[in-house]
């Protein structure tokens, strides 16, 4: 298969030195790329800023912002058989980023935010026969919210994790995950990201 994978966070700049981002390390996306390459698939990896080294053999596309990631996905999605959207794309960006560094002169600084495009939702509308995989990170109602996201974004399956309690799905840690199929089948797994990446590729191959 020709597999398109997105990884890492995006950065949404307030001024030239400050930005909004999140805790994504990109580790899962890079492990997904390695797992797919080992099985002989052709892989394009679109990644936000991370300290990770792209695996040898991948077509690597570095991006920074959500709009850059959207443009890269739109470029490669039409020629892909499968999109695995593991990137943690920022939901909002500053509505009016400043061209020079903001000086610390005010006690309260207000930053207006503008909603970023939903890349996965857009991909779902153009899905065709492609395999589409999404992810959900929730603090409550994990199963219900993940199922709603799967339905609304026209996914083949979704990988969901909760931030409640001691479960921390960031980085290379063993965590609790839930995989939900288009048919509504729920599978719970406890594993690290390397094993999870192989499970995800297994599922994608079974659909192809």
Look up the CATH number of the domain holding residue 200: 3.40.50.10300
Interval 55-87: pLDDT, tens: 999 999 999 999 999 999 999 999 999 999 999
> Token match 């981002």: residue?
21
Partner residues linked to 10 by β-bridges: none
pLDDT in tens, 156-207: 999 999 876 565 666 566 888 999 999 999 999 999 999 999 999 999 999 9
Residue 145 banded pLDDT, cuts 50, 70, 90: very high
Close Cβ partners of 208 (under 8 Å, ≥ 6 residues apart): 1, 81, 82, 131
Measured between alpha carbons, how far is residue 185 from residues 152, 177, 180, 192 in Å? Answer: 17, 14, 5, 22
Q: What is the greatest pairwise CA distance in the chain?
A: 58
DSSP state of 50: -
The reported pLDDT for the residue numbered 27 is: 94
Structural domain count, the chain = 1
**Which residue range forms the structural domain that includes residue 161?**
2-207
Among 22, 145, 154, 167, which one carries the catalytic annotation?
22
> For residue 149, what are its two tokens?
């996201």
**Token digits of residue 134:** 């999404």
Catalytic status, residue 116: no
With a pLDDT cut of 90, the percent of the chain lying above it is 87
DSSP 8-state class, residue 55: P
* DSSP per-residue string spanning 18-49: EEE--S--SHHHHHHHHHHHHTT-EEEEEE-S
The helix or strand, by DSSP H or E, that contains position 46, with its residue range, turns out to be strand 42-47
CA separation for the pair 31, 193 (Å, rounded): 7
User: For residue 6, which phi and psi values (nearest 5 degrees)?
Assistant: -110, 150
Q: What is the pLDDT of residue 168?
A: 60
Q: CB neighbours of 3 closer than 8 A, spacing ≥ 6?
A: 36, 41, 42, 43, 44, 80, 81, 82, 83, 84, 204
């Amino acid at each position: 298969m020709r597999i398109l994978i997105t990884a890492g966070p995006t950065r949404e700049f307030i001024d030239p030195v400050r930005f909004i981002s999140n805790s994504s390390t990109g580790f899962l996306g890079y492990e997904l790329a390695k797992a797919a390459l080992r099985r002989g698939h052709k892989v394009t990896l679109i990644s936000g800023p991370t300290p990770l080294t792209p695996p040898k053999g991948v077509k690597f596309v570095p991006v920074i912002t959500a709009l850059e990631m959207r443009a890269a996905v739109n470029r490669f999605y039409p020629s892909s058989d499968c999109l695995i959207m593991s990137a943690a794309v920022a939901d909002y960006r500053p509505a009016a980023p400043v061209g020079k560094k903001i000086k610390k002169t005010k006690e309260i600084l207000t930053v207006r935010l503008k909603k970023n495009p939903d890349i996965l939702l857009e991909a779902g509308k153009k899905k065709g026969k492609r395999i589409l995989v999404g992810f959900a990170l929730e603090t409550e109602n994990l199963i219900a919210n993940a199922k709603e996201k799967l339905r609304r974004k026209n996914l083949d399956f979704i990988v969901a994790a909760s931030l409640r309690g001691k479960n921390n799905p960031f980085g290379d840690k063993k965590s609790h995950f839930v995989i939900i199929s288009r048919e509504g089948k729920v599978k719970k797994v406890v594993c690290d990201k390397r094993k999870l990446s192989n499970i995800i590729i297994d599922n994608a191959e079974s659909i192809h």
